[in-house]
A and B are shown apart, each in its own frame.
Chain A
């Protein structure tokens, strides 16, 4: 409290889904410059001391109290579930209804800025893709992959909101595969000792380090910034090169066989890889991030070497 009175009041940022790896990284970065409050329905650990966290489901009424109590200057919305194992309706409910609720509250309580973390997955891997997709490319990710459909719906919902409420600065970030201290599908795949690959395919892949995503979120909080931004890290390289540098021994398999194995493992609950995700190691889904570099002033700090070093350590641990 003493801090707050001594200096002029710091800007206050609400981070939803603060308990995740990304949420924690965001909180750790922002808490020096901003006053960070967080909500999550999970129990939250390892948080900086000056961060207020409330354990509450985003769809509950109690979230409203957070908005009412705190005069928020910005909301960073990370509370988006990507668990392919959870029930489709629950997944959908949580993501769509939750986001809608947050946005409604933002409009009601006149929060001037909202940053939403979407993903480059909304474009979807496809052989017909442009090598570098711009922000206005069609969101085709749900064509074959149902689980991605609520992410697309959410992204589109944020887009409409952005037109309906010009007084709120909405930023939608679409990063490529995030790696580093996170536990998402691409990181888990790259940490496998013997990752399966599809025989005859070796797509170019873009990776981004989680800390660079956090920097982009920080930049997105700058007043005056609004819009949709693709985020990518170092220049793309083939998947085989990444696996080679990591010292992995990939298991190339014919696609029908791999599909069959994966769908069997999935139904026996032996694996958490949905079959349509295979397209990510088959086709390209790369983005043009020049807009973010120009307008956000985004620049990646972690090159491929440091990303690979960190991923390599992930296995030994």
Chain B
């Protein structure tokens, strides 16, 4: 009985995905074994649960526009480096959806998530099945060696949790991604997301409460926590995602921070420029 219901739901979900997209997902080669799982727990089949809502958000809610998707190479290892904004990490989801449905051939974008993510019930399971990987250096290295497309947010929590008065100001970048790119000779594609900053403009971050609750931040937005759970929904802003030309760096990955920081600065500048371009090109927050 339950099995039948599940089959029907699965069928309906698959139906909700456009046929060509589902075909792409189903025939994806992610290095999975005969049971359909790659060593990180990614199951392409599982995307039928995640893709429909993601595609709906992408097309109808955030009405995402992408620019420069052709800069992502068709195959081979690549690092996408993006700015991180908007209190909840929907920017990563939108970049990944773009790679899956707005690009041909599609690329499975796998983002590196925080190390505490596997300790959250359900999220741990869903993230792993949908191809998200805990952001350790070794994990990234394995994925790149397998020719993967990895998304990193070098700002980390500093970027996503900032309050609205610092909107679109890039926070300090970590150096790890550059060392990784140097060690593996991977090209870097800079990515700028414009629009996500307004989805949940935080007026204030109650740090003490966040600490008590064990959360990375406790933002106060115009609607949260005033409207309760409803206030935790992001606003229907318009997303614009810019992909820059691939950048290649050469050098010793174990170089001093000063030298590696110089390379990182160049990536950061490109991202900042693309953000400025996006802010100029858009007519309004919701259009």
Contact = CB atoms under 8 A, between A and B. Distances in A.
Given A127-B115, A127-B117, A131-B133, A237 B33 contact: yes
A223 interface: no
A237 B35 contact: yes
Given A198-B121, A200-B122, A204-B40, A131 B134 contact: yes
A132 B138 CA distance: 8
Interface in B16-43: 33, 35, 37, 39-41
Given A235-B33, A237-B33, A241-B35, A131 B121 contact: no
Contacts of A132: 39, 138, 142
Interface in A100-129: 127-129
Contacts of A128: 115-116, 134, 136
B125 A236 contact: no
A241 B125 CA distance: 13
B41 A204 contact: yes
A198 B33 CA distance: 25
Contacts of B39: 131-132, 204, 235-236, 286
B124 interface: yes
B139 interface: yes
Contact of B119 (A131, A241, A283, A304): A283
A237 B38 CA distance: 8
Contacts of B134: 127-131
Given A130-B138, A132-B138, A204 B37 contact: yes
B118 interface: yes
B109 to A, nearest CB: 18
16 contacts: A128-B115, A129-B134, A129-B136, A130-B136, A130-B138, A131-B142, A132-B39, A200-B120, A200-B124, A201-B124, A202-B125, A204-B39, A238-B37, A238-B41, A283-B118, A283-B119
Interface of B: 33, 35, 37, 39-41, 115-125, 128, 133-134, 136, 138-139, 142
Given A128-B136, A131-B133, A237-B33, 4 more contacts: A129-B136, A134-B138, A200-B122, A236-B37
